[in-house]
Amino acid sequence: MKKVKRRVLNSVFAFLLLATPVLGTGIEVYATATDTTATSDSAATDTDSAIEEENSTTQSTGNGASGEPSTSEEESQSTTDTGSDTPSSYEGVIEEQTSGSAATEKNPSSATSEESELQGITSFSDQTEAIVVEEVQGYVTQYVKLKTIAINDTENVPTSTLFYQLTEGTLTENGSNQALAGQTFKAVKKYQEPTTKQEYLLLQNDQGKAGIVEIGAVSIASGTLKTEQTYVTIQKNNYPVWQSVFLDTQLTTTANYNQKTYLVKESFYKNSNKATYYALYDNKQTFIGWVNAAGTKAAANAGGVWQKENKYATITSSNYTLWQNFNWTAQKGTSAAINGQTVKVTGKYRHFNGSTYYSLYDKNNKWLGYINATGVKLSSNAQGAYQNYGKYVTLTKKNYTIWGNFSWTSKKNNTTTLAGKTYLAKGKYSHANGAVYLSLYDKSGKWIGYLNADAATVANNQGGTWQSEKLTVQMKNSNYTLWQDLNFSKKKASSSNYLNQTIQVTGKYQHYNGSTYYSLYKNNQWLGYINATGVKTAHTIYSQSSISRYVIVNNSSGNFFDKADPNSTKLGAKSAYKGYMAQATKLAKTSDGNYLYLVSPAGKIGWIKESQTYSVNSNFWMYTTGGKYPSLDVKNLNIQVSISKQRVYIKSGDKVIYTMLCSTGAVGTPTPLGSFRIQAEKGLAFSSAAYYRSFKDHGVYLFHTIPTSIAWSTNTFSAIEGRKLGTRASHGCIRLAVPDAKWFYYNMPYNTPVKIVN
């Protein structure tokens, strides 16, 4: 290395560096002149010799004449950037380094174009030796780092600690570079002294501010630097992020940037570990750091790389574009068409612009396009995200399940049971299957479940929706309000205005509060809404016809009525006939449904709703015909048989205590008239019937069941003969229903008087 003999340094230099990451750093070098004691040439020579010895060792593995330094420092760092090393602490932004006070005295010589690259650098005030150099053509830009060189005294300064400035092909000293020692620069040009072949490098940062140094003043990053303009997405979260290609200062790790997309402006192939490093920038052109390329994946464009995402997205806005590509040159549509719907997300892109974009598919796996993630709510479940709804709905369709979950394993209820009722739908889910499900609550805040919205109709208010209802009613009393609206904000009238009047109900509302409200009209004039509990049915009988049917009473609540009208006079309690057979002789069709008029062999029972009975017409002879059997422990027990009425009367003296249906002798074989007594002859069966008791001629004329279909049977009876019960059909005996004959057989005392009359 050529030594520049420094005569008397009457200045010392202080340098200020505003240090930031390499490519984003603005570096300015300043020199300040102050008076000092002159140093001897011999001292300077000793110092330079020491530096030469150090440099010769450093360059022994470099590029020979080029003076490229050893890569041992780089190699010591390379082992930490394999993608699996433990991230070091983030050192942050390097503090400003200052030395001395600022000075602004400039070299008075005229500046060349190259001099303009040396912004902020001042020269010594006294004479220095000039070095003639020539630019080395074809030099490739490299990253370098200024070395720290020991200076033993102020009189012997190694030339490698100097900055130079170039003026008309001549280098002159321009201060010390040691204030910037350890900092990384780009070496953008190389110069060479023609005689000694000593090499110099022009250092710059991205603002073009630095200076020229001897090649021995720097360590050179050994590798290949390329300019890039590509995009990558971080794929690993445990790679170090370095401040420079020297890998000596770790900023952070890729965990802070994982799956995000960045612009690569430069790549550096590092010889020591044979790895490529990318210089990454975000969408604001802020330098992120250097990252091993193995921790990234190349993207085709600024959209980044596809990342698998198996989720569902509910569209929350109608103002988003669905994109065909990430060049923004083609649209698939807008979110307005699918706003509120839930669609499938199969993948995502973390775009260079900082946004995430989802790739959307509908329920038929049709691709919908890319949408900015801010336009959706993401969910792991097919029902999508919960959406506030806050509307009242009336259940208007039957046979829908009300679900307890969206895995369809819990059934809470069904709309058949709850049809017509009104609930608050606090929220909704737009399921990926295309259906909307409402989350329903009752007036007490109790959750009802999830219901397909197709089964409900949205109401204007808490009243619910109008439902058809055709009734004729009357006011119960004068204490009810007729409302103008179902928010109950305005009264229309009082029930006292219409007492004892017949009013028409044309429709009803099943209110959210749990009550039903009728819409009332009189002579086509609307009267208002009234709680259904404030009216009673004004019963209407549409038609009445004669029938003959045997039925069993299966309801014990309330009474029989004198008319086919629940508002008519009450007769006997239904509980007395619960489970017993009666004959229905009339059918009435009314506004309250069908009614039957029942009679027993003893006479009138009363009207009952048809729905409170069931028919036994096909085998009525197998049932008790007169209701509950009486006790026979009475005074003057006797029996009377009426041929004309086909009845058997059990009497206490002259009082009838029980009446049974019977069949007496046919016209050709009549039952004898007269007075008789129950005789001793009896038996469980004979060739024609069962459960017989004799009343004349000791076994000739009998009380017994309808004929059996098998001789001597006690449980197989002829349906043909059974249907004749109540008409003249026997050979002279008195036929009874099977349970009546059995009761008569076991309970009627011997010698009881029997009288048979027309």
Name, in order, each residue with C-beta under 8 angstroms of 328's C-beta and a sequence gap of 6 or more: none
In the structure encoding, which two tokens stand for residue 165, read together? 């400035």
Same domain, 101 and 203: yes
Look at residues 204, 220, 236 and tell me which one is the last residue of a structural domain.
220
Assess contact for 562 and 571: CB atoms under 8 A: yes
The answer to whether position 44 is within a domain reads yes
Same domain, 314 and 350: yes
Q: Would you say residue 353 has pLDDT above 50?
A: yes
How many angstroms separate the CA atoms of 292 and 276, rounded? 6
Q: What is the dihedral of CA 287, 289, 293, 298, to 10 degrees?
A: -20
Same domain, 369 and 392: no
Same domain, 138 and 28: yes
DSSP state string for 358-403:
EEEE-TT--EEEEEEGGGEEEESSTT---EEEEEEEEE--SS-EEE
The pTM of the whole model exceeds 0.85: no
Which of the four pLDDT bands, split at 50, 70 and 90, describes residue 209? confident
Same domain, 39 and 133: yes
Bin 637: left if φ > 0, else alpha if -120 < ψ < 50, else beta.
beta
pLDDT in tens, 684-719: 999 999 999 999 999 999 999 999 999 999 999 999
Average pLDDT over residues 732-739: 98
Look at residues 177, 195, 220 and tell me which one is the last residue of a structural domain.
220
Q: CA angle, 452 as apex, 447 and 453 as ends, to 5°?
A: 95
The answer to whether position 608 is within a domain reads yes
Assess contact for 756 and 703: CB atoms under 8 A: no
Assess contact for 333 and 292: CB atoms under 8 A: no
Longest dimension (CA), the chain: 172
Helix and strand element counts for the chain (H, E): 5, 53
First to last CA, the chain: 158
How many angstroms separate the CA atoms of 419 and 469, rounded? 14
How many angstroms separate the CA atoms of 408 and 385, rounded? 17
Average pLDDT over residues 731-755: 98
Assess contact for 684 and 666: CB atoms under 8 A: no
704 is catalytic: yes
Q: What pLDDT is recorded for position 17? A: 34
Task: Considering only residues 39 and 349, tell me which one the structure prediction assigns the higher pLDDT.
Answer: 349
In the structure encoding, which two tokens stand for residue 670, read together? 């009549």
The beta strand positions in 78-236, using DSSP E, are 131-132, 134-135, 142-146, 162-167, 170-176, 184-192, 199-204, 211-214, 218-220, 223-234
Catalytic residue among 351, 511, 662, 733, which?
733
| Residues 293-297: contacts with CB under 8 Å, at least 24 apart | 293/232, 293/267, 294/83, 294/236, 294/239, 295/83, 295/234, 295/235, 295/236, 295/239, 295/254, 296/232, 296/233, 296/234, 296/235, 296/236, 297/232, 297/233, 297/235
Assess contact for 656 and 650: CB atoms under 8 A: yes
Q: CA angle, 479 as apex, 475 and 484 as ends, to 5°?
A: 80
Assess contact for 174 and 31: CB atoms under 8 A: yes
The answer to whether position 197 is within a domain reads yes
> What b/e sequence results for 555-569 when a residue is b if at least 16 CB atoms lie within 10 Å of its CB, and e otherwise?
eeeebbbebbbbeee
Residue at token pair 């969408």: 283
Q: Would you say residue 82 has pLDDT above 80?
A: no
Helix (H) or strand (E) holding 743: helix 738-747
Same domain, 61 and 209: yes
How many angstroms separate the CA atoms of 405 and 387, rounded? 16
Assess contact for 145 and 25: CB atoms under 8 A: no
CB atoms within 10 A of CB 715: 10
Q: What pLDDT is recorded for position 128? A: 55
* SS3 label, residue 677: strand
Which of these, 306, 516, 289, lies nearest to 420 by C-alpha position? 516
Which of these, 207, 346, 271, lies nearest to 72 by C-alpha position? 271
Distances (CA, A) of 676 to 37, 503, 518, 660, 748: 167, 63, 67, 19, 14
Q: Would you say residue 292 has pLDDT above 80?
A: yes
Assess contact for 239 and 291: CB atoms under 8 A: yes
How many angstroms separate the CA atoms of 252 and 34, rounded? 42
* SS3 label, residue 421: coil
CB atoms within 10 A of CB 538: 17
The answer to whether position 281 is within a domain reads no
The answer to whether position 437 is within a domain reads yes
Domain interval for residue 406: 387-458
In the structure encoding, which two tokens stand for residue 250, read together? 């770790």
pLDDT in tens, 531-564: 999 998 888 889 999 999 999 999 999 999 999 9
The DSSP output letter for 578 is B
Pairing of strands 261-270, 376-379: unpaired
Which of the four pLDDT bands, split at 50, 70 and 90, describes residue 125? very low
Which of the four pLDDT bands, split at 50, 70 and 90, describes residue 247? very high
Q: What pLDDT is recorded for position 570? A: 95
Name, in order, each residue with C-beta under 8 angstroms of 359's C-beta and a sequence gap of 6 or more: 306, 309, 345, 346, 347, 348, 349, 367, 369, 370
Assess contact for 257 and 303: CB atoms under 8 A: no
CATH number at residue 728: 2.40.440.10
Residue at token pair 């057979």: 581
Q: What pLDDT is recorded for position 207? A: 76
Exposed, middle or buried, 348 (CB in 10 Å: 0-12/13-18/19+)? buried
Q: What pLDDT is recorded for position 5? A: 38
Q: What pLDDT is recorded for position 210? A: 80
Catalytic residue among 351, 431, 539, 704, which?
704
* SS3 label, residue 425: strand
Q: Read off the amino acid at residue 103.
A: A
Average pLDDT, the chain: 85
Count, residues in the chain:
758
Average pLDDT over residues 311-319: 96
662 is catalytic: no
CB atoms within 10 A of CB 257: 23
Same domain, 93 and 214: yes
Q: Would you say residue 97 has pLDDT above 70?
A: no
Which of these, 282, 275, 286, lies nearest to 234 by C-alpha position? 282
The answer to whether position 292 is within a domain reads no
Same domain, 581 and 644: no
Look at residues 458, 478, 506 and tell me which one is the last residue of a structural domain.
458
Same domain, 472 and 530: yes
Which of these, 165, 163, 167, lies nearest to 112 by C-alpha position? 167
How many angstroms separate the CA atoms of 486 and 466, rounded? 11
Q: How many whole angstroms from its chain centre is CA 61?
A: 65
How many angstroms separate the CA atoms of 192 and 204, rounded? 18
Q: Would you say residue 598 has pLDDT above 50?
A: yes
Task: Considering only residues 152 and 618, tell me which one the structure prediction assigns the higher pLDDT.
Answer: 618
pLDDT in tens, 508-520: 999 999 999 999 9
**Looking at the 3D structure of the chain, how many domains does it have?**
6
Percent of the chain, pLDDT > 90? 76
The answer to whether position 733 is within a domain reads yes
Same domain, 568 and 657: no
Same domain, 510 and 649: no
Q: What pLDDT is recorded for position 538? A: 81
Task: Considering only residues 49 and 164, tell me which one the structure prediction assigns the higher pLDDT.
Answer: 164
Q: Would you say residue 29 has pLDDT above 70?
A: no
In the structure encoding, which two tokens stand for residue 363, read together? 């329920």
Distances (CA, A) of 106 to 32, 174, 205: 10, 10, 21
Q: Would you say residue 237 has pLDDT above 60?
A: yes
Which of the four pLDDT bands, split at 50, 70 and 90, describes residue 107? very low
Same domain, 71 and 191: yes
CATH number at residue 435: 2.30.30.170
456 pairs with which residues across the strands?
395
How many angstroms separate the CA atoms of 113 and 202, rounded? 13
Which of the four pLDDT bands, split at 50, 70 and 90, describes residue 4? very low
pLDDT in tens, 392-414: 999 999 999 999 999 999 999 99
3-state secondary structure 385-397: CCEEEEEEEEECC
Name, in order, each residue with C-beta under 8 angstroms of 529's C-beta and a sequence gap of 6 or more: 463, 482, 483, 484, 485, 486, 492, 509, 517, 518, 519, 520
The answer to whether position 723 is within a domain reads yes
Q: Considering only 221-230, 266-275, 535-544, which range has the smallest mean pLDDT?
A: 535-544
